[in-house]
Amino acid sequence: MTGAVTQGLPPTAGGRPGKPLIVTEDVDLLDDLLRLCAAAGATPEVHHSVPERRGSWESAPLVLVGDDAARRLRGTARRRGVVLVGRDQDDSGVWQRAVEIGADHVLMLPDGEQWLVDRIADVAEGVGRPALTVGVIGGRGGAGASTLACALAVTSAREGLRTLLVDADPLGGGLDVLLGGESAEGLRWPAFAASRGRVGGCALEESLPRLHSLRVLSWDRGDCVAIAPQAVRAVLAAARRRGGTVVVDLPRRIDDGVAEVLAQLDLGLLVVPAELRAVAAGGRVASAVGMVVRDLRVAVRGPYGPGLDDNEVAGLLGLPLVGEVPVEPGLLRPDGGKAPPGASARGPLARFCKAFWERALTEAGGS
């Protein structure tokens, strides 16, 4: 059982990892809390009462107070991130003791173990602002969504942001190929097929191929073409906890796994060529995606059909216009060029992507 008394857990300063603080004299409870810390990858600081070392109580990102120690902490300076932990489900007085020490949460073991492991793991990873997560989807086949997704990721990384590019289309041929890294070492989607519960953000990042200063989660060349929705949810949540940006290349078909991705997007980009059939197809995609994505915008690609321009396309779709996606001349060569989309900082596609990130990050409240 868990229950909230006031506020949630505080973010760690600057996103830096910190040590949780345990305050208890109950040996059995301490063993349980140490076990849960170990499961979350954290090494706690342990005291029987308020630490004598100046600042330890105030600076710990998370404080776990055993119910046995609550009375000894009366009068202690109030702070966020205090969890009162006990075992007696029938003890109604625990709520009063939580209020007396200013606890944010009351948690009873063993029922609340998974919740507590997640909170401790947040501390161990130094969780701060979640990544700005952008999904890119084509209004029709061949719209250029994968190219734009790669260019956005390459540009984000060049601007110094922690960046993860996620390939959510198992039939798309692999974004690692588009980036020239099909043989790069690192895990692909099938390695995460059995993931459940929480995936460590740091472990995820370090396990993936690093290409052009960003991490890429793509598909291998095997037969696996579907990942369970629970695994998709766990992996993408881990990616978002690391901060920076996450760019997802989305397929046009919406299955349960893709729905899990859509639910975690901050912003969706629908790439639509400026011709009537593409606009009609894009409208159908927008209807499906717009049921889940709260902020869906359109990026228009030329050349333009008769009577159409980018504003007209956006108006027909009833979506906010991001702008016209420019043509990158080098990408039109038969071999696609040796550099990935957006690699040239002076190219029109990179300039478009840089302007997009500047607006999006400002709207989100900074990077």
In degrees to the nearest 10, what's the CA dihedral of 347, 348, 349, 355?
Answer: 110
pLDDT in tens, 206-252: 999 999 999 999 998 888 878 899 999 989 988 998 889 999 999 99
Query: Cα separation of 43 and 181, whole Å?
Result: 37
User: 315: which 2 tokens?
Assistant: 């108006």
In whole angstroms, what is the distance from residue 163 CA to residue 148 CA?
15
**Token digits of residue 238:** 């881990």
The count of C-alpha atoms lying within 13 angstroms of the C-alpha of 357, restricted to the half-sphere facing its C-beta, is 27
Helix (H, G, I), strand (E, B) or coil at 111: coil
Looking at residue 12, its pLDDT comes to: 46
Q: Is the distance from CB of 261 to CB of 235 less than 8 angstroms?
A: no
Give residues with Cβ within 8 angstroms of 173, minimum separation 6: none
Are 358 and 345 a contacting pair, CB within 8 Å?
no
Nearest to 23 by CA among 48, 43, 5, 6: 48
Contact 124, 17 (CB under 8 A): yes
Give the contacts of 336 (CB within 8 A, at least 6 positions apart). none
pLDDT tens digits for range 170-194:
888 889 998 989 889 999 999 998 8
Name every residue whose Cβ is closer than 8 Å to that of residue 335 and which is 6 or more positions away in sequence: none
- Contact criterion met (CB below 8 Å) for 64 and 33: yes
pLDDT in tens, the chain (367 residues): 555 554 444 544 444 556 899 999 999 999 999 999 988 888 999 999 888 776 789 889 999 999 999 999 998 989 999 999 999 988 989 999 999 999 999 999 999 998 898 888 888 777 668 899 999 999 999 999 999 999 999 999 999 999 999 999 988 888 999 898 988 999 999 999 888 777 888 889 999 999 999 999 999 888 887 889 999 998 998 899 888 999 999 999 889 999 999 999 999 999 999 999 999 999 999 999 999 998 999 999 988 888 899 999 999 999 999 999 998 876 644 454 568 999 999 999 999 999 999 999 999 885 4
Calpha distance 129→12 (Å, rounded): 10
Q: What share of the chain is helix, strand, coil (3-state, %, to 5)?
A: 40, 15, 45
Q: What is the pLDDT of residue 56?
A: 82
Q: How far apart are CA 217 and CA 164, in angstroms?
A: 7
CA 168 to chain centre: 14
Element (H, E) at 100: helix 93-101
Distance CA 8, CA 6 (A): 7
The residue with tokens 């590019």 is 165
**Single-letter amino acid, residue 29:** L
At 6 the pLDDT is 43
Q: Are 353 and 161 in contact (CB under 8 A)?
A: no
Backbone phi, then psi, for 46, in 5-degree steps? -120, 135
297 has which bridge partners?
Answer: 269
CB neighbourhood size of 362 (10 A): 10
> Sheet of 82-86: strands edge to edge?
2-4, 105-108, 82-86, 63-66, 21-23, 45-47
CB 157 within 8 A of CB 208: no
pTM of the complete model? 0.74
Q: What is the pLDDT of residue 19?
A: 87
